[in-house]
Copies of this chain bind each other. A is one copy, B any other.
Amino acid sequence: MASSDQVPFDDRGLAYGDGIFETVLLRDGAPLLWPYHHARLLRGCRVLGIEPPDDAALTATWQASESGLEVLKIVLTRGSGGRGYALPDSPEPRMLSRRMSFSPATSRWQGVDVCLCALRLARQPALAGIKHLNRLENVLARKEWQREDIAEGLLADTDGNLVEATAMNVFWRAGGAFWTPPLEACGVAGTLRAALLERGVVREAPLNVEALLDGASVEQLFVGNSVQGVWPVNTLTTPDGEPLRRFLPALTSPLQAAAHRLLGYSLLSGPPLSGEKC
């Protein structure tokens, strides 16, 4: 397992996006939701057929981390070599990692506007759920809006099913319960989403984007991930900011409370209290 801050020309992560990554919240040197990150990393290795790093190599990525909040990014590629797409005979995976100090966008915990992206995600069950390095769809979707007042972009698949946001999962409240789309055809299965599913806070259900726009059954909408926490959605807009639909305010949602408890974030939305650690 090679480790460095650069990759050479023939690294397959660069050449083909042949690898996976994880983005982990560290609090005072300890990774949050690590069992979920680890499980997704192992699943990504299994799907792609990459030898996973051992626990010692992974643990080393957050050694010497600072107090307070940091974000750790781990990138694992299949390494160098092979003839074209064919795998090398003896692949030597390459792991890179970097830590950055971090502050969540706490004002967004009180509510944000998100847009509905025009790009539709392709349906590829062979790659669904894992956090692989083929992320051009996310890049193109994120390019659709420039307005600072749009916090995220929702993505549906080519069949019109709501899937995720560009860098977050999506949740909604309907009939007094919380839901998130199944990710069998596309999308990244976020670790916060996994933890909320495992605790029964949310359940999986399909939602067509037309039903999201027209239906009264979706009472509240949220986007969230394991780094930023959960943002309630006030207004769904076009990428140009034209309102498509407003949602009920969700300032004190049990979904956000459960999520922020997992991440050690203040249960109250809003700027951190003086002396509070985030």
Residues of A within 8 A of B (CB): 5-18, 21, 48-49, 75, 77, 84-87, 96, 98, 119, 121-124, 126-127, 132-143, 158, 166-167, 186
CA distance A8 to B18 in the complex (A): 16
CA distance A132 to B138 in the complex (A): 14
Q: Please state if B133 and A16 are interface contacts (CB–CB under 8 Å).
A: yes
Q: Please state if B123 and A9 are interface contacts (CB–CB under 8 Å).
A: no
Least CB distance, A60 to chain B, in whole angstroms:
16
Contacting residues, chain B, for A8 (C-beta < 8 A): 5-6
Q: Please state if A21 and B15 are interface contacts (CB–CB under 8 Å).
A: yes
Contacting residues, chain B, for A12 (C-beta < 8 A): 139
Least CB distance, A241 to chain B, in whole angstroms:
17
Given contacts A5-B9, A15-B21, A21-B15, contact A48 B85 (CB under 8 A): no
Contact of A98 among B9, B13, B85, B134 (CB under 8 A): B9
Q: Please state if B7 and A87 are interface contacts (CB–CB under 8 Å).
A: no
Number of copies: 2
Given contacts A85-B141, A119-B126, A143-B87, contact A135 B17 (CB under 8 A): yes
Considering only CB atoms, which chain B residue lies closest to A85 in the complex? B142
Q: Please state if A13 and B14 are interface contacts (CB–CB under 8 Å).
A: yes
Q: Please state if B85 and A158 are interface contacts (CB–CB under 8 Å).
A: no
Contacting residues, chain B, for A7 (C-beta < 8 A): 6-7, 14
Considering only CB atoms, which chain B residue lies closest to A78 in the complex? B139
Q: Please state if B138 and A16 are interface contacts (CB–CB under 8 Å).
A: yes
Contact of A134 among B17, B48, B186 (CB under 8 A): B17
CA distance A123 to B21 in the complex (A): 24
Pairs across A and B, CB under 8 Å, 15 listed: A6-B9, A11-B14, A14-B75, A14-B77, A14-B133, A15-B75, A16-B133, A16-B138, A18-B136, A85-B138, A86-B142, A121-B124, A122-B124, A124-B158, A126-B140
Given contacts A13-B14, A17-B16, A21-B15, contact A85 B126 (CB under 8 A): no
Q: Please state if B85 and A139 are interface contacts (CB–CB under 8 Å).
A: yes
Contacting residues, chain B, for A84 (C-beta < 8 A): 142, 167
Considering only CB atoms, which chain B residue lies closest to A121 in the complex? B124
Contacting residues, chain B, for A133 (C-beta < 8 A): 14-17, 136
Considering only CB atoms, which chain B residue lies closest to A145 in the complex? B86
